[in-house]
Amino acid sequence: MVKKIALLGATGSIGTSFFEVYEEQKDRLKLSFVAAHQSYQKLCPLAIKYGVETVALTGITDLSEQKYIRQSFPELKLYFGESELIRLLENEDYEIGLNAIGGSSGIGATFAILKRGKKLALANKESLVMGGHLVQKLKQPGQIIPVDSEHSAIFQALGQHPLSEVKKLIITASGGAFRTLPLNEFASITPAMALKHPNWDMGAKVTLDSATMFNKALEVMEAHWLFDLPYAQIEAVIHPQSVIHSLVQFIDGSLLAQLSSPDMKLPILYALSYPERWNSELVQTDLLAHKDMSFQALESARYPLYYLGLEVAQAGGIMPTIMNAAAEAAMQLFLSETIRFTDIHPLVERIIQASEQIPDPDLETIIACNKDTYAKTLALDT
């Protein structure tokens, strides 16, 4: 049986890995439609290459630009704006929605896919960070299949075991670009240095979030909502080789893990093949090439954003949305060299301290607060 896929974030890093999986598995997968934000020069030729007729571009709002794109690609059915993407998710024929939209903008699509009752292959961790409490009420058992490599590993290691048999989830972290950089050199970190990940080739935001380790705080929150476990049962450990993608510790003391070379094609493939496993040559792992596997704790002086993220996770409510929006904007300021790397944490902390808690925000409140906080942080209005 061929599975029909709606691919969101098709032009990004995950989107690009998806197409390699798609090429290999073309007898089992069929794209229903593809979406990106603005990069029509990349998305439209991709759609034509893979025979996909329906294409959404959420970020093209200028009418003359829309007209130009329609004229340039007459063979495509083009939809513009976020509301059109949501309409496609509500009406088109697909079995799995792969949400690989970058950052907080991915939340609307997550809710549209879940409400439609379709399977959600989720790369966009921000949707759970911001709206996990709402997703928890909405999701059906087995509806969300994680794409994030750590969560895919936990999902595989958990298998059919009940949560009562789980002692702990242990999320591995590479340590990012600055695991060994002397702390007194942090103030002179440049954007180019922070955009270089030691093991993974990813989009800019998640690479930067790995350098600050904010990504791991997001992943702890993602695990909490995906696997319905309290924060006291979730921890992170540095594993610089990124071969063990995460572990489950069971109540009898056993640790089960998933191992493979660090390559997103494998968790993407698994999310699409689940509950089956499909034959694939895409990611091969030579254990002898990974002789040294080491672990270390996350230093608080090196990764303050991770520890702040844990506090925010515990606080819950609107706070994770505020922190994520502040961090997204702070990264933007760092990339434009308006602030230094070492200014990111104090700026995010100030924004959080100046914000009011909303204990159980609805989706509208979350989206509005995300936008306000982002604008406020970007304007350095603290």
Which residues of the shown chain bind ligand NDP in the complex (CB under 6 A)?
9-15, 36-39, 58-59, 100-102, 105-106, 123-126, 148, 200, 202-206, 264
CA dihedral 229, 234, 240, 245 (to 10 degrees): -20
89 or 313: whose CB is closer to Mg ion?
313
Distance of CA 58 to the CA centre of its chain: 18
Structure-block tokens of residue 79: 């939809």
Structure-block tokens of residue 293: 């596997």
Residue 262: contacted member of Mg ion, ligand NDP, none (CB under 5 to 8 Å, by partner type) = none
Helix (H) or strand (E) holding 307: helix 304-315
104 or 249: whose CB is closer to ligand NDP?
104
- 3 state DSSP class of 166: strand
Find the shortest distance in angstroms from Cβ 357 to ligand NDP. 25
Residue 249: contacted member of ligand NDP, Mg ion, none (CB under 5 to 8 Å, by partner type) = none
Residue 210: contacted member of Mg ion, ligand NDP, none (CB under 5 to 8 Å, by partner type) = none
Structure-block tokens of residue 295: 């672990």
Verify cis geometry, omega within 30 degrees of 0, for the bond prior to 304.
no
- 3 state DSSP class of 29: strand
Find the shortest distance in angstroms from Cβ 275 to ligand NDP. 21
Residue with tokens 């929605």: 97
Residue 278: contacted member of ligand NDP, Mg ion, none (CB under 5 to 8 Å, by partner type) = none
263 or 349: whose CB is closer to ligand NDP?
263
118 or 245: whose CB is closer to Mg ion?
245
40 or 342: whose CB is closer to ligand NDP?
40
Residues that bind Mg ion (CB under 5 A): 148-150
Find the shortest distance in angstroms from Cβ 9 to ligand NDP. 3
Residue 38: contacted member of ligand NDP, Mg ion, none (CB under 5 to 8 Å, by partner type) = ligand NDP
Residue among 81, 102, 79, 104 at smallest CA distance from 92? 79
Write down the number of H helices and E strands in the chain. 15, 11
Residue 107: contacted member of Mg ion, ligand NDP, none (CB under 5 to 8 Å, by partner type) = none
Find the shortest distance in angstroms from Cβ 184 to ligand NDP. 30
Residue nearest to ligand NDP (CB): 12
In angstroms, rounded to a whole number, what is the distance separating the alpha carbons of residues 105 and 234?
26
Find the shortest distance in angstroms from Cβ 165 to ligand NDP. 27
Residue 126: contacted member of Mg ion, ligand NDP, none (CB under 5 to 8 Å, by partner type) = ligand NDP
Distance in Å from the first CA to the final CA of the chain: 54
Looking at residue 235, the DSSP 8-state letter turns out to be E
149 or 249: whose CB is closer to Mg ion?
149
Residue 14: contacted member of Mg ion, ligand NDP, none (CB under 5 to 8 Å, by partner type) = ligand NDP
In angstroms, rounded to a whole number, what is the distance separating the alpha carbons of residues 144 and 164?
20
Find the shortest distance in angstroms from Cβ 8 to Mg ion. 18
Find the shortest distance in angstroms from Cβ 36 to ligand NDP. 4
- 3 state DSSP class of 82: helix
Residue nearest to Mg ion (CB): 148
Find the shortest distance in angstroms from Cβ 112 to Mg ion. 23
Residue 105: contacted member of Mg ion, ligand NDP, none (CB under 5 to 8 Å, by partner type) = ligand NDP
- 3 state DSSP class of 8: strand
Other Cβ atoms less than 10 A from the Cβ of 257: the count is 18
Sheet holding 166-173, edge to edge: 234-238, 166-173, 244-250, 255-259
Find the shortest distance in angstroms from Cβ 75 to ligand NDP. 20
